[in-house]
Structure 1
Amino acid sequence: MIRKKSRREESLDHAELARLLPAPGDPHLSLDRHLLLEEHLMNEIQHTAPAPAPSRRPARRLLLIGVPVTAAALAGAFAFTALTGSGGSGPAAATPPPVEAPVVRIEPGSTAQLASTVEHIAAAASARKTPEPGPGQYIYIKSMVSFLCVLHTDADESKTLVQPLHIREVWNSPDGKQGWLDEPGYKPKGGITLDSDVESSLNGPSYYYLKTLPTDPDALLKKIYEETKGQGNSPDQEAFTTVGSLLREQLAPAKLNAALYRAAAKIPGVVVVDHAKDAAGREGIALARVDQQSGDRTEWIFDRKTYAYLGSRGVQVKQVDDVKPGTVLESTAVLERAVVDAQKQRPGAQGTDA
Structure 2
Amino acid sequence: MTPQHAKAGAEMDPSNTLAAEVGRMAEDAYRRRRNADIAHITAEARAPRHSDRKVTPVRHRRALLLLAGTAAVAIGLGATAYAVGGRTPRPAGPPQAAIENAAVVQELNRAASVVEKGHDVRPLPHQWLYVKTVFADSGPGTKAVRQPPLETWTRFDGRRFASMAHVLSPSRLNFITIDPSKEGDDRTPAQEYADLRAMPADPDALLAQIQHKVDTVDRPREVKLGAPWTDEDRDDWTFRHLTAILDTEVPVPHRLQAAVYRAAAKIPGVRTEQNVVDAMGRHGLAVGRESVRVGLLSQIILDPHSYRYLGTRTVVTRTVPWVRPTRSVRGYVGGGKHPGTRLMPPPSSAPPSDPVGNVQSKARAAYAVTDQAGRRS
Counterpart of 1:217 in structure 2 is 203
Identity over aligned residues, as a percent?
28
Q: Give TM-score, length-normalised by structure 1.
A: 0.56
1:164 to 1:208, Cα distance in 2 relative to 1, 3 A: same
**C-alpha offsets along residues 309-331 of structure 1, whole Å, 9 cap, x if unaligned?**
22221111122236332211x11
Shift of 1:340: 0.8
Contact 2:115 2:306 in 1 (8 A): no
CA distance in 1, matches of 2:176, 2:111: 34
Equivalent position of 2:369 in the other structure:
339
- Is there any run of 5+ residues in structure 1 with no aligned partner, and where? 1-107, 152-157, 348-354
Q: Which residue among 178, 181, 194 is the counterpart of 1:208?
A: 194
Aligned-partner Cα distance in 1 for 2:265–2:129: 27
**How much has 1:119 moved relative to structure 2?**
1.0
Deviation at 1:304, TM superposition (A): 2.0
- The answer (yes or no) to whether the contact 2:141–2:357 under 8 Å persists in 1 is no
Secondary structure in 2 aligned to 1:136? coil
1:180: which partner in 2? 162
For residues 73-129 of structure 1, give each alpha carbon's deviation from its aligned partner in whole angstroms, at most 9, with x where no partner exists. Answer: xxxxxxxxxxxxxxxxxxxxxxxxxxxxxxxxxxx9943411111112111211223
Q: State the shift of 1:192 in Å.
A: 6.0
Write out per-residue CA displacement over residues 147-175 of structure 1, whole angstroms, 9 at most, x where no aligned residue. 69xx9xxxxxx999997432122323335
Give the match for residue 358 of structure 2.
327
Judged with a 3 Å threshold, the aligned counterparts in structure 2 of structure 1 residues 300 and 245 are, in CA distance, closer, same or farther, namely same
Matches within 5 A, 1:219-258: 219-228=205-214, 229-230=217-218, 234-250=233-249, 251-258=251-258
Q: Deviations over 1:263-296 (max 9, x none)?
A: 2222222111223111111112211011233211
For these two proteins, the number of residue pairs brought into alignment is: 230
| Alignment of 1:171 onto 2:178 | no
* Structure number having the greater helix percentage: 2
- Two-structure CA RMSD over aligned residues (Å): 3.6
What amino acid is the match of 2:206?
L
CA contact under 8 A between 1:180 and 1:343: conserved in structure 2? yes
Q: Distance in 1 between matches of 2:191 and 2:314?
A: 23
**In the alignment, is the contact (CA less than 8 A) between 2:153 and 2:161 conserved in 1?**
yes
Q: How does 1:183-202 map to 2 (within 5 A)?
A: 183-185=165-167, 190-191=173-174, 193=176, 195=178, 196=180, 197-199=183-185
Sort the Cα spacing of 1:253 and 1:110 in 2 relative to 1 into closer, same or farther, 3 A.
Answer: same
Q: Is the 8 A contact 1:271 1:288 kept in 2?
A: yes
Q: Equivalent residue of 2:101, what SS?
A: coil
CA contact (8 A) 2:271 2:287 kept: yes
Residue 292 (structure 1) aligns with: 292
Residues 182 and 287 of structure 1: CA distance in aligned 2, closer, same or farther (over 3 Å) = same
How far apart in 2 are the matches of 1:178 and 1:207? 17
Counterparts in 2 of 1:293 and 1:175: CA distance versus 1, 3 Å:
farther
Change in 2 beyond 3 A, CA 1:194/1:275: farther
Structure 2 letter corresponding to 1:286: A
Q: Tell me the equivalent position of 2:281.
A: 281
Q: Spell out, residue by residue over 1:27-51, the C-alpha distance to the aligned partner (whole angstroms, 9 max, x if none).
A: xxxxxxxxxxxxxxxxxxxxxxxxx
> Could you tell me which residue of structure 2 aligns to residue 117 of structure 1?
107
CA deviations on 1:294-314 (whole Å, 9 max, x unpaired) are 211111112222222222211
Contact 1:139/1:338 (8 A) holds in 2: yes
Query: Which residue identity lines up with residue 193 of structure 1 in the other structure?
Result: I
CA distance in 2, matches of 1:191, 1:235: 40
Please tell me whether the aligned partners of residues 141 and 249 of structure 1 are also in contact (alpha carbons under 8 angstroms). Answer: no
SS in 2 for 1:211: helix
